[in-house]
Each structure stands twice: as structure tokens, then as C-alpha cells.
């Protein structure tokens, strides 16, 4: 099992499969097709339904875990970067709209001053929208970028 295969399956989950004719100049979906087929062979199960291009139940399970795995890999980079003094990268933060109006200006000011190389992406929504994204690894941990527990 390779990271690129997991990324390809997540790509299918997020963007679907667009079948194309051979020799077409478009890129993307064909790479998804080839990569996920190797993963299907390794796992011994169909991950993408060939008739509709949607994930099977097995595919959904693999995508959920793959998102967490890739989140942990991003966390490794964040942790190592932290040791090297300058923190770089992207933080995806979920925020409830009403709190965001008060917190975001303060957060942006502190972030610019203390962590100038961090790119902040804020996802606004209700708890029912934000919590599933956090569980799926689409948002960073509430404790620290890329971590599921508070820093020591």
C-alpha cells in the first residue's frame, strides 16, 4: 500500500471519476483509475463501483482511514518543522460563524506576528458541519496543527 494510492482514492472520493478516451490531453482521472486498481488488487476488494464511479462500502472505509493517515503524515512535517524553530505549512481551522467574527481578527494578528510562514484556511460552519470534517481529518486538530493531543 502506497501513499499515492491512498491519495488517488481520496481524489476519487472528492472529485469522482471522469472516464476519458485514450490519447486525450486531459490529466488526472486516469491516474486515479490506475492507482486505485492496484490498491483494490492488494486488498482483494472493489473500492470503486465501475458502473457509477462512486466508492463502495469498502472504499468508504479505506478513504476514512486514508484521510487520517495523510493527516498524521502532515503532522509529522509540522512536528519536525516545529523543532527547527520556523513553523511552515497550512492549518485548516473549523470555526462557528458567530465566534469567528470576534476571534478571527485577533487570531490573524497573532498568527502573523508569531508564525509568519503559516497559511491559515478557515472553514466556517455549525458544529454539525465542522465535527465530521474534524473526524475525517479534513480539519487540523483543535489542540495544535497536525496533532490529536496537546503539545507537551
**What is the CATH number for 22?**
1.10.10.10
> In the chain, how many domains are there?
2
Q: Which of 85, 102, 127 is the last residue of a domain?
A: 85
Helix residue ranges per DSSP H, the chain = 3-15, 29-43, 57-83, 97-114, 127-135
Q: Which three cell numbers stand for residue 14?
A: 472528492
Residues 126 and 92 in one domain: yes
Are 43 and 79 in a shared domain? yes
Q: How confident is the model at residue 66 (pLDDT cuts 50, 70, 90)?
A: very high
Q: Are residues 51 and 107 in the same domain?
A: no
Answer yes or no: are the C-beta atoms of 120 and 50 closer than 8 Å. no
Of residues 63, 61, 87, the one with CA closest to residue 146: 87
Please tell me whether residues 1 and 33 are part of one structural domain.
yes
- Looking up cell 465501475 gives 50
Q: What is the pTM of this model?
A: 0.51
More confident: 76 or 33: 76
Residue finishing a domain among 85, 103, 127: 85
Q: What pLDDT is stored for residue 60 in this prediction?
A: 94
Domain housing 42: 1-85
pLDDT class of 31 with cuts at 50, 70, 90: low
List the CATH number of the domain containing 129.
3.40.190.10
92 by DSSP, 3-state: which? strand
Co-location of 145 and 111 in the same domain: yes
Higher pLDDT, 63 or 1: 63
Residue 106: which region, alpha, beta or left (left: phi > 0; alpha: psi -120 to 50)? Answer: alpha
Amino acid at each position: 500500500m502506497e501513499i499515492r494510492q491512498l491519495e488517488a482514492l481520496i481524489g476519487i472520493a472528492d472529485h469522482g471519476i471522469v472516464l476519458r478516451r485514450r490519447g486525450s490531453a486531459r490529466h488526472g482521472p486516469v491516474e486515479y483509475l490506475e492507482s486505485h486498481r492496484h490498491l483494490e488488487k492488494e486488498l482483494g476488494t472493489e473500492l470503486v463501483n465501475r458502473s457509477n464511479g462512486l466508492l463502495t462500502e469498502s472504499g468508504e472505509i479505506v478513504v476514512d482511514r486514508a484521510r487520517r493517515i495523510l493527516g498524521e503524515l502532515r503532522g509529522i512535517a509540522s512536528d519536525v518543522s516545529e523543532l527547527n524553530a520556523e513553523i511552515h505549512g497550512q492549518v485548516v481551522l473549523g470555526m462557528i460563524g458567530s465566534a469567528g467574527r470576534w476571534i478571527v481578527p485577533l487570531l490573524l494578528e497573532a498568527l502573523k506576528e508569531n508564525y509568519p510562514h503559516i497559511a491559515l484556511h478557515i472553514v466556517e460552519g455549525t458544529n454539525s458541519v465542522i465535527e465530521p470534517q474534524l473526524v475525517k481529518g479534513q480539519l487540523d486538530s483543535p489542540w495544535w496543527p497536525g496533532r490529536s493531543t496537546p503539545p507537551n
